Amino acid sequence: MSRKSKPSLPAAPHRILIVDDDPVVLKALLHTFQQDNYQFVSAVKAEDALEQMTRSRFTVLIADYQMPGMNGLDLLRKAKEIQSDMVRILLTVQSEITAVMASISEGLAFKLAIKPWNDEDLRAIMTLAVEQYEKGKSTFPEQKKAAEVLALSKLMVTNRSQLAVMLNKHNLLTMEQVQELNRLQVARKEPLIKVLLEQNWIDEKEIRNLLRRELQVEEVSLSEYQVDTAVASLVPMSFCERQLVVPLKLEGKRFTLAVADPLDLGLIDDLRFVSGLNIHTVVADIASIQAKINEVYRPDDVLDFRDLETLLSRIDPYEGIEIVIDDTEDQSLEELLIGEEPPAIRLVNAIILEAIRLGASDVHIQPRTKNVVVRYRIDGVLMDKINIPPSLLQSIVSRIKIMSELDISERRRPQDGRITVRTPMRVVDLRISTLPTINGEKVVMRILDRNSKIHSLEGLRFSQPDLAKVLNFVDKPQGIILATGPTGSGKTTTLYALLQHNATPAKNYVTIEDPVEYYMDMAGQVLIREKIGLTFPVVLRSILRQDPDVILLGEIRDFETAEVAFHAALTGHVVFSTLHTNSAVATLSRLFDLGLKPFVVATALEGIIAQRLVRLICPECREEDRVASALLPRLGSHFLENEVNACKGKGCQHCNGTGYKGRLGIYEVLAPDEEMRHLIASGASILELTRIAEGIGTSSLLQDALIKVNQGLTSVEEVLRVLGPQS
């Protein structure tokens, strides 16, 4: 058929059956899917739905669990007998999750949808269900079902470990310490043993010795176990990392796991319930468990991207990747996807998954004169990873544009978009930016991991004096706290640590971001959409009518946003936000430049945290180092006049030979006192404010960097790279 021939008629829409006894819920569900090309049939009784199924076929069934007469589980069971290939989704509420777990393990339900639902998440579930139907696989293999079930067990919060009680019985913990542990465990929803060891009250080795004596538990060496892939698939990696467990072997119905806390009866009971297996636990230390998790779920034999021909010609190894495109409205998108060449699709999927595996924050697809290079920013530093022939550039760029709903015909102007990528282990958001260059379009993708853990304030590694200041001003009932620094300096990470500190259900938390970098259930999170007029000041004004207690504002960009933010701080709200400035004192100058009145800044401002990120020396290959004599003078008098005990990373497999693994912050924390507030309100010069800041004990970024160097956390070369030469 020629290109100009008449296109074929579109396929008939999939038929969806929705069953719920509440007409309001039915109406809301239909509204959720109003943009999708589906044909809907609804029923308010399970009996009516079964009658519909006997008369016609359906692709997907969505049924509410709590219905009078026949409940959702019974309906799914009968529906499976009538139409076994129909994909079934159970609609339930959070409190009923435990009761309906069996629906997945029995193969009755493909997914659970939790009420109240998020429209985008529910549409994503529907997309997956339709894809599942088209593949002719309405039920998963046994192992994948079990993995789905265990992933759901993360919704449970267990606090039934008897470890603290046992340690108290043997006079290793006081009753006050036990109560404090229980409080922290409930607040942080983390395993008790992890919380306990962070307090440094007792050594892990002493705990294991006690368990051996009192419980006769078996302690194993995990290096002796070779874990089969099928066994590993029974438990998601995220669950293992969160609960400090690792699967070892499956013998019939006996499922052996290594655990850090064998007295966590709640965890063991939940695993036994959702898996339907007999759980046998053995004990290992936390470091060994974490190393085994990395070995099992992150094998070293990764794909070699240098062999491009092999990558493009082989069967797609990344078939499991699922791309979910947000806010789909363009009906011609399906035709564009059908017209794509398979090699480009596979290569883009491979680029994205390799970036996720390496923990990259950004991906640069950069055309050069003779080739196209894919570069990953890892720990803040760009590294060349993949070389691609120039002939593939256009198809790769077009594929990315289609995924992010950009105009593939427009190659002369920059474009911005976003996509959500779902992999078997995690969900990441990608911010896409294209830029025309003389060699072709350059694409940059920023990776935002939805599964990223929010750090605690203690985990940010402030110095003790700075941590005391931060803990003091974060407890203030009102005022604004600013995190400042260049792009990519960890400001949002700091803000979320502040937000989560002492978070309580008694307060209303709201965040306004572009993009949303961390996901926090306790907060109402708003995504800025400037194309439709949903800007920072517009959303901020609306939020103030939502009775917030704590507001996290992604960035102060202009006078209008700054004015509303500082007004909120003056009227009883706690506001966290960011600014792009070079130092804490320079932030004051920036606020004046935006047009804020000095007395408003002096009254509302509670604290400023200026920061940078430096790379951490790899703990596996760290060794002492002699500093080159030419380096210290370039870092100024502070490094010359004080003792410097330097370390470096030799380079190993753990850090990919770089000598660095991960990053940490260096900080300058300014907490204005009354004298400084008076100077700010009086319009004092920056020089005067700098002197008073030094007088009240504000340490500079360089001073904090020296502390981190002497602690062996980073290197002198890294400080020079990040802060630059000092006068």
Is residue 716 very low, low, confident or very high in pLDDT (cuts 50, 70, 90)? very high
- Whether residue 707 lies inside any domain: the answer is no
pLDDT, average across residues 375-381: 92
pLDDT confidence of residue 298:
63
- Whether residue 633 lies inside any domain: the answer is no
Out of 297, 316, 343, pick the residue that ends a domain.
297
Residue 384: strand pairing partners:
375
Look up residue 312 and give its two tokens: 């493009």
Q: What share of the chain is helix, strand, coil (3-state, %, to 5)?
A: 40, 20, 35
pLDDT confidence of residue 152:
41
Distance CA 478, CA 570 (A): 7
DSSP 531-579: GGTB-HHHHHHHHGGG--SEEEES---SHHHHHHHHHHHHTT-EEEEEE
% of the chain residues with pLDDT over 90: 28
pLDDT confidence of residue 562:
93
pLDDT confidence of residue 230:
66
Is residue 97 very low, low, confident or very high in pLDDT (cuts 50, 70, 90)? low
Is residue 100 very low, low, confident or very high in pLDDT (cuts 50, 70, 90)? low
Q: Provide the pairing of β-strand 60-64 with 87-93.
A: parallel
pLDDT confidence of residue 276:
62
- Whether residue 153 lies inside any domain: the answer is no
Look up residue 463 and give its two tokens: 């110095």
Out of 249, 269, 297, pick the residue that ends a domain.
297
pLDDT confidence of residue 306:
40
Distance CA 415, CA 430 (A): 14
Out of 449, 483, 514, pick the residue that ends a domain.
449
Whether residue 430 sits in one domain with residue 463 = no
Whether residue 315 sits in one domain with residue 231 = no
Whether residue 561 sits in one domain with residue 683 = yes
Mean pLDDT check: name the lowest of 69-83, 318-332, 342-356, 707-721. Answer: 318-332
Highest-confidence range of 136-145, 177-186, 539-548, 571-580, by mean pLDDT?
571-580
Is residue 314 very low, low, confident or very high in pLDDT (cuts 50, 70, 90)? very low
DSSP 55-75: HS--SEEEEES--SSS-HHHH
pLDDT confidence of residue 329:
38
Whether residue 463 sits in one domain with residue 441 = no
- Whether residue 212 lies inside any domain: the answer is yes
CATH number at residue 259: 3.30.300.160
Whether residue 474 sits in one domain with residue 609 = yes
Q: Does pLDDT of 629 surpass 60?
A: yes
Whether residue 100 sits in one domain with residue 230 = no
pLDDT, average across residues 13-20: 87
pLDDT confidence of residue 8:
40
Is residue 197 very low, low, confident or very high in pLDDT (cuts 50, 70, 90)? confident
Mean pLDDT check: name the lowest of 144-153, 285-294, 472-481, 679-688. Answer: 144-153
Whether residue 66 sits in one domain with residue 27 = yes
Alpha helices for 153-285 (secondary structure H): 163-169, 175-188, 192-198, 204-215, 229-232, 237-243, 265-275
pLDDT confidence of residue 300:
45
What are the distances in angstroms from CA 312 to CA 94, 308, 346?
Answer: 44, 6, 7
Q: Does pLDDT of 398 surpass 90?
A: no
Sheet order of strands, 245-251 included: 245-251, 254-259, 278-283
Q: Based on the structure, what is the number of domains in the chain?
A: 4
Whether residue 422 sits in one domain with residue 463 = no
Distance CA 480, CA 550 (A): 10
Q: Does pLDDT of 80 surpass 70?
A: yes
- Whether residue 250 lies inside any domain: the answer is yes
Query: Over the stretch 341-369, which tens digit does the pLDDT of each residue have?
Result: 456 777 787 888 888 878 899 999 999 98
Is residue 208 very low, low, confident or very high in pLDDT (cuts 50, 70, 90)? confident
Whether residue 438 sits in one domain with residue 484 = no
pLDDT confidence of residue 133:
77
Residues 6+ apart with CB under 8 A from 65: 71, 72, 73, 90, 91, 92, 93, 96, 99, 100
Residue predicted with more confidence, 75 or 531: 75
pLDDT confidence of residue 220:
82
pLDDT confidence of residue 268:
75
The kind and range of the H/E element at 609 are strand 605-617
Query: Over the stretch 464-510, which tens digit does the pLDDT of each residue have?
Result: 999 999 999 999 999 999 999 998 899 999 999 999 888 888 999 99
- Whether residue 653 lies inside any domain: the answer is no
- Whether residue 321 lies inside any domain: the answer is yes
Whether residue 64 sits in one domain with residue 25 = yes
pLDDT confidence of residue 104:
60
Whether residue 537 sits in one domain with residue 603 = yes
Whether residue 444 sits in one domain with residue 517 = no
Highest-confidence range of 111-120, 448-457, 465-474, by mean pLDDT?
465-474
pLDDT confidence of residue 465:
93
Is residue 109 very low, low, confident or very high in pLDDT (cuts 50, 70, 90)? confident
Question: Taking all residues of the chain, what is their mean pLDDT, rounded to a whole number?
Answer: 80
CATH number at residue 90: 3.40.50.2300
Supply the range of the domain harboring residue 354.
308-449
Query: Over the stretch 252-300, which tens digit does the pLDDT of each residue have?
Result: 778 888 888 888 777 776 676 555 677 888 888 888 888 888 888 765 4
pLDDT confidence of residue 552:
94
Residue predicted with more confidence, 555 or 225: 555
- Whether residue 709 lies inside any domain: the answer is no
Phi (first) and psi of residue 14, to 5 degrees:
-70, 145
- Closest CA relative to residue 77, chosen from 65, 92, 94, 95: 65
Enter the pTM of the model: 0.55
